[in-house]
Structure formats: structure tokens, C-alpha cells
Amino acid sequence: MPAVSKGDGMRGLAVFISDIRNCKSKEAEIKRINKELANIRSKFKGDKALDGYSKKKYVCKLLFIFLLGHDIDFGHMEAVNLLSSNRYTEKQIGYLFISVLVNSNSELIRLINNAIKNDLASRNPTFMGLALHCIANVGSREMAEAFAGEIPKVLVAGDTMDSVKQSAALCLLRLYRTSPDLVPMGDWTSRVVHLLNDQHLGVVTAATSLITTLAQKNPEEFKTSVSLAVSRLSRIVTSASTDLQDYTYYFVPAPWLSVKLLRLLQCYPPPEDPAVRGRLTECLETILNKAQEPPKSKKVQHSNAKNAVLFEAISLIIHHDSEPNLLVRACNQLGQFLQHRETNLRYLALESMCTLASSEFSHEAVKTHIETVINALKTERDVSVRQRAVDLLYAMCDRSNAQQIVAEMLSYLETADYSIREEIVLKVAILAEKYAVDYTWYVDTILNLIRIAGDYVSEEVWYRVIQIVINRDDVQGYAAKTVFEALQAPACHENLVKVGGYILGEFGNLIAGDPRSSPLIQFSLLHSKFHLCSVPTRALLLSTYIKFVNLFPEVKATIQDVLRSDSQLRNADVELQQRAVEYLRLSTVASTDILATVLEEMPPFPERESSILAKLKKKKGPSTVTGLEDSKRERGADINGGPEPTPASAASTPSPSADLLGLGAAPPAPVGPPASSGGLLVDVFSDSPSAVAPLAPGSEDNFARFVCKNNGVLFENQLLQIGLKSEFRQNLGRMFIFYGNKTSTQFLNFTPTLICSDDLQATLSLQTKPVDPTVDGGAQVRQAVNIECVSDFTEAPVLNIQFRYGGTFQNVSVKLPITLNKFFQPTEMASQDFFQRWKQLSNPQQEVQNIFKAKHPMDTEITKAKIIGFGSALLEEVDPNPANFVGAGIIHTKSTQIGCLLRLEPNLQAQMYRLTLRTSKETVSQRLCELLSDQF
Amino acid sequence: MSRGKCCKGGEGLEIRFILIQNRAGKTRLAKWYMQFDDDEKQKLIEEVHAVVTVRDAKHTNFVEFRNFKIIYRRYAGLYFCICVDVNDNNLAYLEAIHNFVEVLNEYFHNVCELDLVFNFYKVYTVVDEMFLAGEIRETSQTKVLKQLLMLQSLE
């Protein structure tokens, strides 16, 4: 038996725990637990009042049962009762139960807060400690409301015991983190700063955490902490190892406090006061010196504690980035660690050097370690160490070593862990582009990437190589030749077929003079891959073929035969079939001039931020990459001085219609949480409902597209596709929203929410059920929305979707196209009736008119379709002018029906329209006119 | 002129949770410093176990986990894990674990897994003395043990 009894044990509890441990099966355990729960329930309900000890014992058993993973639905009241006991052990169990089973029951919260209040006022340090720990553990908003004003007083009161001060400081910190608005800054702040001078190092330790967090948000208010922290740090690092007694850990004086003080200093720039600055520099030098001294103990605890301080000092040196001498010393120190026998130190050195590489003072010094780092990539057993080595190589890369680093990364890629391949591919692609002096090298590198790790080459990477080849005419011939050769391989990755197809379609003519790569050979080579490819690739190849028709008239007949074959013309896939039909037709009817114009070489792409970089940022989180990239950019300009390898900016914008292969629509920047949302990390773990994202770009356009139709894709980014299907009858409607996960990774906590303003809620009623919070990769979930139009409305509901994808939190908002015209019932009527009613609605409030310029080609058939799609009847032969369109219908709401007449008068010459709406209700005329005007 | 970068601000550098698990994945202590719902907690527990137990002694004591890092150390059959931000001080937490274990060892006179099972409610007290609100509260073993003995005497 374990040492259960130290004179204080609850025997019944120990017996119960033993019983549970002896259960042979899950069923037996559940049986034993149910028996115990029944027993406890009867004790709690019994007539006999329980004494404190029994109550404590039973509450403790309930807690144990809960911690085993079973639900507990009673006992909260008994736990709360324990809070007002005068015995420490009973109080402790009560507080523990409350802290673990946080309950938002308002009745109990009031009682709990009351008990805490009493304990805080008790002047009994043990009870005060329990109360403070409970607040710090629960940290709810209710508690912040009740105690945020009180705790600063406890913290700075002269007679508060040290241990209570420690707890109060951290308790306040917790409340500040959860409810910063409820913690008022005030007189106490300056007194808190002076706790850095406190005699008791435990108080200083707790206070430093509090000050660091407060200083991050209010740097001005806590500025004075810098000099106090420096002098405290200085006293610690210069003390003899025995001076600090209790706070010396394996001969290292106060290592955790030192780390915290160094972290606090990282909230600020280097001190301006030269004396403080000098003292800090001395401290940092002392810490660096100590690293070179022989260890005072062989124990790993000693070196770990010492190095914890050293690494934090190096972080501060890098953060200040102002003392070249210290930066170089830091780099040398890390260089020693790179070869250390302890894996931990090698790992940390690689990690720390990564940030050092971005400082201009130490960049060169970091580069001298390249061989060691490459060696780490090849020999380290722990994948996380190799990952750090890849990161460091990426960070230390510049034009002088890019070829070597890219080559090493490529060779590592052959054996790299699957989990980091995609990231390495992105990094190689970025470095190859950024530091390419010779673009043939760039093309070779990307093709190598596809060869080695084709599955991990994302669209962004191969789009990018095509953009670059198109923008740089000095590399086009080489690219054509290289892809042609690469395609000779019997098995090549589909991404290579895509790149090859595109490049040969554009620049195949540059190598067609060589009989080994004549047009027919080029075509046969591509076509030999055709049947093994997926539909999008085949579609791309069809476009290549039509481009060949233009480039090489001699293969026209061969290609027409291919296009004409049943497997193309009657392909089950609509996209392929359409391309085949259209291209065949185009090749038959168009003159060579027209062909040459339509199929002209792609104009250069407008230069924009590399989409690959955007992807890497997304993968790694903005904070980790952005800083590095910025510094890289600066350095590129400072040191290399050479022209950046960006193509001429005079590039014209390609017209979308000329872009047959769809590359013009390069993937949009990922829609993520706004960059200002307080750091990715917080978002991921935060369970509090996050703010609703602003509307996704393009949301308005998509919204407008749905005014005259009911089905289609409402939104799409790289992760998520949202489709709609809806039908409406009279004042009711039903909409199905389809959420498609485009990735291969699960979405977690998937929460779509419909948001209506108060006004809208009163006029439009929406009902829906929550969807399953998990959406598997590639899966689609459906959500039905029942819609009722109560009375006429103007706004549209917003659909907000939040979920976690991989490590990141995603937040998307789109306007949901439920518009007033959906509740239209068409009404047929004769000319006479129409004009009679038209005249009846001649009151100025009933008519709304809009004159506007045509945004789309003025096509009669399309216009008719739109009016019908809008929901009204299209009345033929009503208007005396046959060019005009008139419509009529009734808007159904729950309360009323509103008759509507509309008239659209196009003016072809001026490319203008005049739209007139007459209804019996002004707001309806107004809204329908707005909605319909947007459509033409 | 100072070239200092702007403050590391707002990252909330704190412990997200502390877990003690045995090799079989049984939780011996779970202390949460952020709000998670029960399902999420269970998931985290399982994932941490999966991540940590496959590693051997030659590996580092740090492992990336979601967007965080787990700093862990194995003592006999028990894994002590602390989840922190990726850029927090790895070694400081590694030694904080050891400091905590030494306190437990002293307090329970040669601590073993069963002590943690039978005295789970006392372990919480030890944790709260040493870590509070996700921060290191007290590092002096002498002070912590003195306080624990004082509390013990109240029982």
C-alpha cells in the first residue's frame, strides 16, 4: 500500500481509490462508481446533517470520479458549503472542486464569490491564498467583475504577507489576461513596479511576470521597470553562488528570475540612460563570460539552468540588435553549441541562430557555420532538429551561398520526413527565385523539385515558374528545351506535364527548329501523357493543342483529329467536352489572322508578391516568416546591391479572356484572420467566440450574382467552398448551404453562424440547425435554412464561418443572398391592365427610378433572362416600344402582399438604362430598384 | 541610435497546461491554464501522449505540438509535460519540471506514481504553490516545502 496516511488521510477515499484500481474491467469500474454515486447522493440527501469531514470526503470522491472522466451533476452545493468551513483541509477541497469543475451556474457563482470575498478579508494568509488561487484558476469574467478592483489593494498593501503578494500578483495577471478592460490602471501600478526591489525573490518572480504582461500593453506606464529590472539582474548575475541561498539552483543564482527579467527587458528598446545601458551590457557580458567558465557541477541541471539564462540573454541581445560586439559573441557561443554533444543544445542553438541570421551585424558570422548546419541536416536523428537546420539554412541564405543551400535542401528532400516536405519545397522555390542570377538555374531547380517531390509541389509553385518564364524572354527557349527533355522520362509527375504543356504551348516554337523536337514530336510527346492525367491537366493540354494549331499549321490536321474523336467531343466531363468543341470549331472557322490574335503569346504577368511566399507565411504563421522576409529584403538591397531579379514592371495586364489556361486567375491570397488579431497562437487555442471576420473580398460581387439565380457557388478560397441551392414559394423559402472542405485535412470546430441585424431579425426569420463541428478532408456538409419573409426587408444576413484548419484559426464572412425579390410571384397581365395599374401607382412615393450606365454588354436575351430570374413576369408586347422590357409580380410577405410593376428602358447608343419601379410601398420600390439596377 | 525591434507584445507567454501521464497514457495530473472544453482536453491529452512516447533519449526534450511546444521529461514511468509558446525559454521550463519533481520527491518521501494517485488533491496544492496563472510562482524548494509543511500541520 502506498503512503496514504500521514495522519490526515481520508480513509474512505483511499479505500474507494483502491477499489477502482482493482477493477478488472471498465464495466466493473462503472458499477463501482455508480454504487459510490448512489451512496454519496443518499448521504447528501439524508436527514442527518453531515459533519465537515464527511462532506469533504464525499466531495473529494466526486472530484476523483470526475477526474476519471465521468460526469458529475451534483455535489456543487456541498462543495460551496465547504468554502465557509474554518478548517483548512475542508476549505481546500471545496476550492479545488470549484476550480476543477467550473460552473457558470449564476446562483452558485454568487455564493462562491461571497465565500472568496470573506476569505480575502479574513487576514488569514492561508485562507487568502486559497481564495486567490481559486480566482487565478477560474479566472472567469464574473470573478474579474467582482475582484479586479480588490486585488491590486491586496497586492500593494504594506501588511500583506509575502506569499499572499505572490499569489495576488499572478491572480491579477490572470484577470488581466481574461478581462483587461476590468483591471483599471491606477496608483498601484507604480507600486507594483517597485516590487522589483522587494527583498523576497519569490515576490519579485511573481511581480516580474505581472509587469511583463502589463508592460506589453502599456509600455509607457511601466517604463520605469527597465532600470529596476537591470539593477536587479545585475545584483543576481554578480552574486556569488551562495548569496541567494534558497534561490540558488544547482549553483546558478535565481535562474528563473533572471530569465523573467531578461524577458521583461525584451518589451523595451535598449535603455536610453547610458548608465543603465552600460550596466545592462555588463550583465550580458558577464552571462556570456560565465558560459566559458568551467562548470561548477557536472549535473545537467546546472548546465541547463545556466544555459536557460544564457539563451534568454542572447534573445535580448538579438532583440536590441544594437551591439555588434555582443551579437558576434552570441553567434560564436551558439556556434560552439552547434557541435555540443547534447541534442537539446544543438537544437536550441539552431533555433536561436535563426533569429540571429536576420541581423545585419551577425549575418556574416552566422554564415560561417554553414557546413555544420548542413551536416546537422544530414546526421541529426531527431526530425525536429533537422527541421531547425532547414529553417536556419533558409534564414542564412543569400546570393553568395544560395546555390549550395538550394542544392543541399534538394538532396535532403529526397529522404526528408513527409511532414516537412511541402515546407521544404516552398522554401527551395522561394530561395531559387529570390537569388537566381541565372534563370536557367531557377528553371532546373523547380523541375528538380517536381521530379523529387512532385506530390508536394503545390499549385503556387508551378504557377510561379510559368509566370517567371513568361515574364523573362531570356529563359524561354531554355525552359522549352528543358521541359521537353524532362518529359522524355517514361514516368513523370503530373505537375511536370502541366508545366511542360503550358510552356510548350507558349514557347514550343523556340525549339521546333531542331528535328529532334519538331512540332509533331512535341505534340506526340505531350499526347502520350494525356490519358494518364486528371481532368484539369487534360483541359490544360487541350489548350496547348489549340495553341499548337496556331504555332504549327503543319500539325493542325493531326490535332483536329484528336479534338474530333469521341473521347474528346463526347467526353463526360463538361469542361473537356466544351473545350474540344470550341477549339475544334475555332480551328476550323477562324482565319490564320484571327487564330494568331486569339492565341497570341501570353502577355507578361503583373508583378506581385510571390504567391509561394504567401503560402509559406500561411503555413508557418505570419509572425515567424514576416520578420525574416523583411530583414531579407532589406539586406538584399543593402549588401547585394544588384538589381532584384524581378521582371520589368512595364508589364501589361493580361486580359482575362486571352488567358486560356486560366492562369490569370492565380490563387487569391489566402483568406485568414486579419493580421492584427493578436497573434496566431492565441487564436488557435482560444475558445471564446472570436470576432466575426469582415466580409471576404468579392463577397459583394458574389452576392449580386445570386439576385437573379438561386443555385451556385457563393464563396471559394483555397480551403473552403460554399455552394447554395435554394427555392422560394410565396413568403417562404428553403436554402441548402453546402460547405466543401477542399483540403485533405479535417476542419475542426466548424461553426457556421447566421448573423442578422436587429432590424433584419424583425422582418426576416431564419431557422437552421448547427452542423457537425468536424468536416473531414474532401467532405461536404449540408445545412438547411428555413426562411420566412415577415415583412419587406433591405439588408442581407451575413454568414460567418469559423473553424480550425491544421493549427490555424479561420474566420470567413460572406453575405448570404436572401433578397426581397426572392419572394416574387410573377403576374401575367395584358397591356391595358398594366398601364391602368401603372397609372394607379403614380404617387411620387410609389415610384423609384434609376438611370445608370450598362456594366455588361446590352443583350436582349440576357436581359430577359435576368428579369425572369429576378422573379417577376416578363410581359411581352405590352410596351409600345419593343426595345423596352416590362414586368409585373407580387412580393409575398407574411403580413401583406405588394404588387410591383417594373419597366426597363435601354438606350443602346448611350449604353445606358432607365429602370422604373412602381409598387404600393416606397421601401419595396426602393429595394427592388437597387437590386435590379446592379444586374445590367 | 537604437535599432531595437518593437516589443514582443501581447503574446501572453504562459504555460498552457501541465500534464503528468504514465507510459500507458493514464493521466496523473492535468492542470489547465486556458479554457478548453472537456472534449478538447481529452484530445490534447491523447495527442500529447502520442507525440511524447514515441521519442527516445537521444531526442530533444522539446517537441513542436500544434502551434506550441511541449517541454517534457521522463521520470521512470511518468512523463511530465509543460505546454508553452514556441518561442518561450525551453530550458527554463525543463528545469522547472525538475524543480517540481524534486519538491514532490521531498514532500512524499521518495515519490512514486501511486502517491500521485492517492493524494491527487495534494498534488494540486503543490502545483499551485509553484505555478499559478500559467506562470512560475515560486522556485525556492525550501520556501515551497516550508509552506507545504505548514499547510500539512493544519490538517
What is the tens place of the pLDDT at every residue in A596-622? 888 888 888 776 666 777 777 776 654
> Domain count of chain A?
2
State the pLDDT at residue A300: 96
What is the spatial distance between Cα A108 and Cα A701, in angstroms, rounded to a whole number?
51
State the pLDDT at residue A636: 36
Mean pLDDT across the stretch B54-59?
Answer: 90
Amino acid at A923: T
What is the spatial distance between Cα A203 and Cα A161, in angstroms, rounded to a whole number?
10
* pLDDT of A504 strictly over 80: yes
What is the spatial distance between Cα A601 and Cα A584, in angstroms, rounded to a whole number?
19
Which range is most confident: A455-469, A853-867, B136-150?
A: B136-150
Q: Which of B34, B92, B117 sits opposite A259 (nearest CB)?
A: B92
The answer to whether B118 contacts A14, with C-beta atoms less than 8 Å apart, is yes
Asked if residue A396 lies in contact with residue A373, where contact means CB atoms within 8 angstroms, the answer is: yes
Asked if residue B18 lies in contact with residue B82, where contact means CB atoms within 8 angstroms, the answer is: yes
Claim to verify: residue A707 and residue A810 sit in the same structural domain: yes
The C-alpha cell that represents A555 in the structure block: 500539325
Claim to verify: residue A825 and residue A780 sit in the same structural domain: no
What is the tens place of the pLDDT at every residue in A343-358? 999 999 999 999 999 8
What is the spatial distance between Cα A344 and Cα B61, in angstroms, rounded to a whole number?
7
- Is there a binding annotation on residue A53? yes
Radius of gyration of chain A (CA): 36
* A8 at B interface, C-beta within 8 A: yes
Claim to verify: residue A796 and residue A730 sit in the same structural domain: yes
Claim to verify: residue A724 and residue A798 sit in the same structural domain: yes
State the pLDDT at residue A620: 62
The 10 Å CB-count burial string (b at 16+, else e) for A386-422 is bbbbbbbbbbbbbbebbbebbebbbebbeebeeebbb
What is the 3-state secondary structure of chain B? Answer: CCCCCCCCCCCCCCCCEEEEEECCCCEEEEEECCCCCHHHHHHHHHHHHHHHHCCCCCCCCEEEECCEEEEEEEECCEEEEEEEECCCCHHHHHHHHHHHHHHHHHHCCCCCHHHHHHCHHHHHHHHHHHEECCEECCCCHHHHHHHHHHHHHCC
Cβ-based neighbour number of residue B56 at 10 Å:
8
* B5 at A interface, C-beta within 8 A: yes
Q: Could you tell me the pLDDT band of residue B113, with boundaries at 50, 70 and 90?
A: very high
- Is there a binding annotation on residue A533? no
Mean pLDDT across the stretch A443-463?
Answer: 90
Instruction: Find the angle CA(A686)-CA(A687)-CA(A690) to the nearest 5 degrees.
Output: 80
* B106 at A interface, C-beta within 8 A: no
Q: How far is B149 from chain A (nearest CA, A)?
A: 12
Using a CB-CB cut-off of 8 Å, the residues of chain A touching B27 are: 67
- Which chain B residue shows the shortest CA-CA distance from A177? B12
The answer to whether A308 contacts B61, with C-beta atoms less than 8 Å apart, is no
* B47 at A interface, C-beta within 8 A: no
Q: Which residues contact A593 (CB under 8 A, 6 or more apart)?
A: none
Element (H, E) at A887: strand A885-892
What is the spatial distance between Cα B1 and Cα A923, in angstroms, rounded to a whole number?
62
Claim to verify: residue A756 and residue A782 sit in the same structural domain: yes
Which of A793, A818, A843 is where one domain is finished? A818
* B13 at A interface, C-beta within 8 A: yes
The C-alpha cell that represents B24 in the structure block: 500507458
Bridge-partner residues for A782, per DSSP?
A738
Using a CB-CB cut-off of 8 Å, the residues of chain B touching A344 are: 60-62, 90-91, 94
* pLDDT of A642 strictly over 90: no
Amino acid at A332: N
Which of A769, A799, A818 is where one domain is finished? A818
Using a CB-CB cut-off of 8 Å, the residues of chain B touching A213 are: 12
CATH of the domain at A899: 3.30.310.10
Question: Is A871 part of a structural domain of the chain?
Answer: yes
Going from the C-alpha of A473 to that of each of A445, A477, A522, the distances in angstroms are 18, 8, 20
- Phi/psi for A745 (5° steps) reads -110, 145
Is the ipTM here above 0.90?
yes
Question: Is A538 part of a structural domain of the chain?
Answer: no
Going from the C-alpha of A251 to that of each of A239, A292, A310, A888, B73, the distances in angstroms are 11, 15, 15, 90, 21
Amino acid at A481: K
Question: Is A741 part of a structural domain of the chain?
Answer: yes
For chain B, percent of residues with pLDDT exceeding 70: 92
Greater confidence, A419 or A747?
A: A747
State the pLDDT at residue A601: 82
What is the tens place of the pLDDT at every residue in A708-721? 888 888 888 888 88
Q: Could you tell me the pLDDT band of residue B57, with boundaries at 50, 70 and 90?
A: confident
What is the spatial distance between Cα A61 and Cα B120, in angstroms, rounded to a whole number?
11
For chain A, percent of residues with pLDDT exceeding 70: 90
What is the spatial distance between Cα A860 and Cα A874, in angstroms, rounded to a whole number?
12
Which of A783, A818, A853 is where one domain is finished? A818
What is the tens place of the pLDDT at every residue in A275-296? 999 999 999 999 999 999 999 9
Claim to verify: residue A789 and residue A773 sit in the same structural domain: yes
Asked if residue B65 lies in contact with residue B48, where contact means CB atoms within 8 angstroms, the answer is: yes
Q: Which is nearest to A823 in space by CA: A733, A734, A886, A762?
A: A733
State the pLDDT at residue A402: 95
**Per-residue DSSP letters for A754-813?**
EE--HHHHHHEEEEE-PPPS-B-TT-EEEEEEEEEE-S------EEEEEEEETTEEEEEE
What is the spatial distance between Cα B66 and Cα A309, in angstroms, rounded to a whole number?
26
State the pLDDT at residue A556: 93
What is the tens place of the pLDDT at every residue in A675-695? 333 333 223 333 334 467 777
Q: Could you tell me the pLDDT band of residue A847, with boundaries at 50, 70 and 90?
A: confident
Q: Could you tell me the pLDDT band of residue A652, with boundaries at 50, 70 and 90?
A: very low
Mean pLDDT across the stretch A399-413?
Answer: 94
Q: Is A225 helix (H, G, I), strand (E, B) or coil?
A: helix
The answer to whether A8 contacts B133, with C-beta atoms less than 8 Å apart, is no
Using a CB-CB cut-off of 8 Å, the residues of chain B touching A281 are: none
Q: Which residues contact A864 (CB under 8 A, 6 or more apart)?
A: A874, A885
The 10 Å CB-count burial string (b at 16+, else e) for A61-79 is bbbbbbbeeeebeebbebb
The answer to whether B7 contacts A268, with C-beta atoms less than 8 Å apart, is yes
What is the tens place of the pLDDT at every residue in A40-87? 999 999 888 889 999 999 999 999 999 999 989 999 999 999 999 999
The answer to whether B109 contacts A3, with C-beta atoms less than 8 Å apart, is yes
Q: Which is nearest to A328 in space by CA: A291, A353, A292?
A: A353
* pLDDT of B79 strictly over 60: yes
Name which of A10-14, A842-846, B61-65 the model is least confident about: A842-846
Which residue's entry shows cell 423609384? A848
State the pLDDT at residue A540: 95
What is the tens place of the pLDDT at every residue in A312-340? 999 999 999 999 999 999 999 999 999 99
Claim to verify: residue A830 and residue A887 sit in the same structural domain: yes
State the pLDDT at residue A503: 95
Q: Rounded to the nearest 10 degrees, what angle do helices A418-434 and A402-413 cross at?
A: 160
* B7 at A interface, C-beta within 8 A: yes
Q: Which is nearest to A795 in space by CA: A760, A755, A764?
A: A760
Greater confidence, A655 or A501?
A: A501
Asked if residue A251 lies in contact with residue B95, where contact means CB atoms within 8 angstroms, the answer is: no
- Which chain B residue shows the shortest CA-CA distance from A166? B137
Using a CB-CB cut-off of 8 Å, the residues of chain A touching B47 are: none
Amino acid at A412: Y
What is the tens place of the pLDDT at every residue in A153-210? 999 998 999 999 999 999 999 999 989 999 988 889 999 999 999 999 999 999 999 9
Query: What mean pLDDT is reported for chain A?
Result: 86
Q: Could you tell me the pLDDT band of residue A647, with boundaries at 50, 70 and 90?
A: very low
* B58 at A interface, C-beta within 8 A: yes
The answer to whether A21 contacts B117, with C-beta atoms less than 8 Å apart, is yes
State the pLDDT at residue A878: 82
| A84-90, Cβ contacts within 8 angstroms, sequence gap of 24 or more | A84/A115, A84/A118, A85/A52, A85/A56, A87/A52, A87/B154, A88/A126, A88/A127, A88/A130, A88/B151, A88/B154, A88/B155, A89/A8, A89/A56, A89/B154, A89/B155, A90/A52, A90/A53, A90/A55, A90/A56
Claim to verify: residue A703 and residue A811 sit in the same structural domain: yes
**What domains, with CATH codes, occur in chain B?**
15-154 (3.30.450.60)
For chain A, the helix, strand and coil percentages under 3-state DSSP, each to the nearest 5: 55, 10, 30
State the pLDDT at residue A165: 97
Mean pLDDT across the stretch B80-97?
Answer: 96
Going from the C-alpha of A2 to that of each of A57, A522, A570, B119, the distances in angstroms are 19, 80, 79, 10
* pLDDT of A703 strictly over 90: no
State the pLDDT at residue A690: 46
* pLDDT of B13 strictly over 70: no
DSSP A630: H
The C-alpha cell that represents A654 in the structure block: 493580361
Going from the C-alpha of A756 to that of each of A784, A800, A824, A870, the distances in angstroms are 17, 11, 22, 23
* B153 at A interface, C-beta within 8 A: no
- Is there a binding annotation on residue A12? yes
Q: Which of A22, A211, A221, A246 to mutate to test the interface with B (most CBs of B within 10 A)?
A: A246
**Per-residue DSSP letters for A120-144?**
HTS--HHHHHHHHHHHHHH--HHHH
Question: Is A909 part of a structural domain of the chain?
Answer: yes
* pLDDT of B26 strictly over 60: yes
Claim to verify: residue A831 and residue A744 sit in the same structural domain: no
Question: Is A548 part of a structural domain of the chain?
Answer: no
Q: Which of B4, B58, B118 sits opposite A269 (nearest CB)?
A: B4
Question: Is A799 part of a structural domain of the chain?
Answer: yes
The answer to whether B59 contacts A343, with C-beta atoms less than 8 Å apart, is yes
What is the spatial distance between Cα A200 and Cα A198, in angstroms, rounded to a whole number?
5
CATH of the domain at A750: 2.60.40.1230
* B90 at A interface, C-beta within 8 A: yes
State the pLDDT at residue A709: 83
* A638 at B interface, C-beta within 8 A: no
Q: Is A747 helix (H, G, I), strand (E, B) or coil?
A: strand
Q: Which domain holds residue A784?
A: 699-818
* B37 at A interface, C-beta within 8 A: yes
State the pLDDT at residue B36: 87
Q: Which of B91, B100, B106, B144 to mutate to test the interface with A (most CBs of A within 10 A)?
A: B91
Asked if residue A396 lies in contact with residue A357, where contact means CB atoms within 8 angstroms, the answer is: yes
Using a CB-CB cut-off of 8 Å, the residues of chain B touching A170 are: 132-133, 135, 137
Claim to verify: residue A794 and residue A767 sit in the same structural domain: yes
State the pLDDT at residue A691: 65
What is the spatial distance between Cα A733 and Cα A785, in angstroms, rounded to a whole number?
8
Write down how long chain A is: 936
Question: Is A321 part of a structural domain of the chain?
Answer: no
The 10 Å CB-count burial string (b at 16+, else e) for A451-473 is bbbeebbbbbbbbbbbbbbbbbe
The torsion of the CA quartet A680, A685, A691, A697, rounded to 10 degrees, works out to 50
Question: Is A925 part of a structural domain of the chain?
Answer: yes
Name which of A100-114, A663-677, A686-700, A831-845 the model is least confident about: A663-677
Q: Return the number of CB contacts < 8 Å for A and B.
A: 222
What is the spatial distance between Cα A416 and Cα B124, in angstroms, rounded to a whole number?
43
Going from the C-alpha of A174 to that of each of A382, A507, B97, the distances in angstroms are 36, 63, 21
Q: Which residues contact A840 (CB under 8 A, 6 or more apart)?
A: none
pTM over 0.80, yes/no: no
Using a CB-CB cut-off of 8 Å, the residues of chain B touching A688 are: 35
Q: Could you tell me the pLDDT band of residue A632, with boundaries at 50, 70 and 90?
A: very low
What is the spatial distance between Cα B110 and Cα B95, in angstroms, rounded to a whole number?
19
Bridge-partner residues for A901, per DSSP?
A888, A918
Q: Which residues contact A895 (CB under 8 A, 6 or more apart)?
A: A790, A791
Using a CB-CB cut-off of 8 Å, the residues of chain B touching A245 are: 142
What is the spatial distance between Cα A290 and Cα A294, in angstroms, rounded to a whole number?
8
What is the spatial distance between Cα A211 and Cα A268, in angstroms, rounded to a whole number?
12
Claim to verify: residue A767 and residue A828 sit in the same structural domain: no
Claim to verify: residue A847 and residue A875 sit in the same structural domain: yes
* pLDDT of B27 strictly over 60: yes
Q: Which residues contact A318 (CB under 8 A, 6 or more apart)?
A: A327, A330, A352, A355, A356, A359
The answer to whether B85 contacts A681, with C-beta atoms less than 8 Å apart, is yes
* pLDDT of A645 strictly over 60: no
Q: Could you tell me the pLDDT band of residue B66, with boundaries at 50, 70 and 90?
A: confident
